[in-house]
Structure 1
């Protein structure tokens, strides 16, 4: 049995119920086989065995008081996975689906994603099963303060620098930073995604969506194609989706879909970006409100989706941008996209495609940008925020955006060049995984068995 397969089977035996973590592990490790086979030092130094075990896993209770005066309790997590390249870096997710498995898979993916940015950042992730939806401002503030009352012991600007993720935006980051400052008596760059008046970076909110489009643009340009004039499908309606749509319009494309947990909209005239922002960023309402206000839009609730399918991917398009959550695009969805002529998929969410869908896209040789490469724009700009905090400076929107574009193009070029080494120029899954892994693995070897 080969080294890679042995470690996969050991993890399956140790963590049989961690389905997301095992999915991420298999996708990465199976593409690493050509690299592992040519370099015996990885096995000698037990790199894979060390890589799959977090350096530190923190689980804690988060007690808080609701507006009726009742005590409530949620589960909190922070998994500090790997610090070979720098301080742990990765977002905090507040959503009912959060558990150790979800946080572990996200943190594991973050290791290679952060490596690809070329910035000095390790990999980590955290969050809670708390749901901000339906909560008052005061309830959200009290929860965030309680969450940070434990987390502050484990983080620092040179130790672990969390950011936002699903359910954690500028509001939540603000409440957590205030509590961190109160408890630690320090004002430093311990969180990214901060408000612009107190250490935040321009483009941070837009970065993951912009970066996903920049990566798609780079893939297409390498084949003499572009997004201009093309129909695009986007899932989600949070920051990633909204700013994917914004950048698609800037490049002359026509995004026609968006979705949330309740349903999706298809607007053949093109998504009305101003209306979408108003509904989701200001009013925090369901997308059903979009269809009520825009007569060209068709709203389909989740209850009417075909069984086992995501209705977003049934709309014919040139490029697809899965920007909502993990495993939102399965094999049947991938087959439908390809049947309808889709030529490009750029992942804005974390692991939005199932392993079967990923393999089909790779085999079909369309432009396929895996999440750890295509959605690295968010963490890259978080790294740029850290740099601004360290130098006590503020860069312009144009300066940060230009750096983001350069980073995303660099990630594509590095992944493509690495894939070429193995005679698979179009396989960016292989290229991105190996490129990110090499840097981390060599740092681990050079730093000794720690």
Structure 2
């Protein structure tokens, strides 16, 4: 990084102590934008970089609720409204014990550039709570969501801040959150949340969008080399929403997903993961992957080890941040991997990214590759505003077009800056330039 950018980064670390995920996300962007600042000294004069790294608003609040035994519980809720230059804040809510301010800020910072890459009029934000919905009853989840929204409703709105789902927040949680928002505000404001059920303003393809989008991006990457996913051996981490729909789309495009994972280890099925059985185990039984292996004789469940030790052509990390470190990257290289496409947010450490790229592995960062979810969320907002509902086919086509456009934007930007095929630089620079230009137009706000 240049001396100027190093100074900015040092200031970010000093002002945000104890938040390593946020520091990592900021550094990854700052390392790319030096050439942009050289071409555009007006950005430095207006301190655009410093302003982008500082959230516009950070909200932390108490979430009291009662469990089924009558015991009062207290969790902490967050909403970081990071940047509204391009439109209302847009980003998901994560319910997981690991959530703290640094995680929410890292996710919100990534969201700024991800949303900018879509070309749609949405800013960046993120939120969540250190609540774990796993093992909780339906009524406990409902009570928590209602308490959470009782505070959050003050800060959101269709023209202000539009949350969606993330880890631990699916259609069930969105439904409870929306119901409480409607009850408190006495407004049927469909566009205040995305990821809703189809019966009350949700969009077709929203649940599939992140997984499908990552696979569409992978297909575009491989196509640049005259290839595609057909006949490819693919490994996916995770077994939640993003992973399931990534597996589905890989199979539809002619690839074979031979392994996926959960917190206990990974599942290997050389004939290809049976999605019907996987969905039943994870979505209906809320079980573990070893149940799959017990029902499919040729499948193997491996506990306590990384799915990245399975040889593959394409890797789709779809679980959580920093799941691929140096050792995992080395295993992927040794296993013949030619492309890593991030379906999760920042699942690859800086060390791992350097190792993969040095070995010639094509690498797509999450802010580009997993933008499909927020892209379809923005389309859901569009449909809500016009009181319209699109077909599955139309929505999927728009998603595919958006991912094709994001890929082209990253590719063309990397070429413009003399780094063809560098998707990290392409994504960071393309997203940064769009936000920076808009911030300059808005003045010092």
> TM-score under structure 1 normalisation?
0.97
What's 2:157 paired with?
156
What's 2:413 paired with?
418
- Are the equivalent residues in 1 in contact too, given 2:265–2:307 (CA < 8 A)? no
What's 2:380 paired with?
385
For 1:291 and 1:255, how far apart are their aligned partners in 2? Answer: 15
Of 267, 270, 291 in structure 2, the residue corresponding to residue 268 of structure 1 is 270
What's 1:202 paired with?
204
For 1:433 and 1:359, how far apart are their aligned partners in 2? Answer: 16
Structure 1 position 211, deviation (Å): 0.2
Which segment drifts farther, 315-324 or 355-364?
355-364
Which segment drifts farther, 290-299 or 349-358?
290-299
Matched, 1:337 2:338: no
Secondary structure of 1:220's counterpart equals helix
Cα shift readout 1:420-449 (whole Å, capped 9, x = no counterpart): 011111100000100000000010010011
Secondary structure of 1:138's counterpart equals helix
Matched, 1:347 2:349: no
For 2:10 and 2:17, how far apart are their aligned partners in 1? Answer: 10
Structure 1 position 361, deviation (Å): 2.4
For 1:123 and 1:363, how far apart are their aligned partners in 2? Answer: 32
Of 290, 300, 303 in structure 2, the residue corresponding to residue 301 of structure 1 is 303
Question: 1:50-449 to 2 correspondence within 5 Å?
Answer: 50-188=51-189, 189-302=191-304, 305=305, 311-449=306-444
Structure 1 position 176, deviation (Å): 0.3
Cα shift readout 1:157-208 (whole Å, capped 9, x = no counterpart): 0000000000000000000000000001111210000000100001000000
For 1:365 and 1:449, how far apart are their aligned partners in 2? Answer: 42
For 1:16 and 1:128, how far apart are their aligned partners in 2? Answer: 20
Structure 1 position 365, deviation (Å): 3.3
- Are the equivalent residues in 1 in contact too, given 2:79–2:127 (CA < 8 A)? yes
Secondary structure of 2:24's counterpart equals helix
Structure 1 position 60, deviation (Å): 0.2
What's 1:34 paired with?
35
Structure 1 position 13, deviation (Å): 2.0
Structure 1 position 15, deviation (Å): 2.1
Structure 1 position 33, deviation (Å): 1.2
Structure 1 position 340, deviation (Å): 1.4
Which segment drifts farther, 282-291 or 238-247?
282-291
RMSD: 0.8
Secondary structure of 2:78's counterpart equals strand
Unaligned runs of 5+ in 1: 306-310
Secondary structure of 1:187's counterpart equals coil
Unaligned runs of 5+ in 2: none
Q: Which runs of 4+ in 1 moved over 4 A?
A: none
Structure 1 position 296, deviation (Å): 1.5
> TM-score under structure 2 normalisation?
0.98
Structure 1 position 34, deviation (Å): 1.2
For 1:363 and 1:262, how far apart are their aligned partners in 2? Answer: 31
Structure 1 position 254, deviation (Å): 0.4
Aligned residues: 443
For 2:350 and 2:8, how far apart are their aligned partners in 1? Answer: 18
For 1:198 and 1:250, how far apart are their aligned partners in 2? Answer: 29
Which segment drifts farther, 120-129 or 337-346?
337-346
Structure 1 position 3, deviation (Å): 1.6
Cα shift readout 1:2-61 (whole Å, capped 9, x = no counterpart): 221110111122223110000011111101111112211111000111011100000000
- Are the equivalent residues in 2 in contact too, given 1:365–1:427 (CA < 8 A)? no
Secondary structure of 1:153's counterpart equals helix
For 1:295 and 1:328, how far apart are their aligned partners in 2? Answer: 29
Cα shift readout 1:247-275 (whole Å, capped 9, x = no counterpart): 00000000011111122111111101100
Cα shift readout 1:55-98 (whole Å, capped 9, x = no counterpart): 00000000000000111000000000000000000000000000
For 1:103 and 1:173, how far apart are their aligned partners in 2? Answer: 18
For 1:296 and 1:85, how far apart are their aligned partners in 2? Answer: 51
Structure 1 position 314, deviation (Å): 0.5
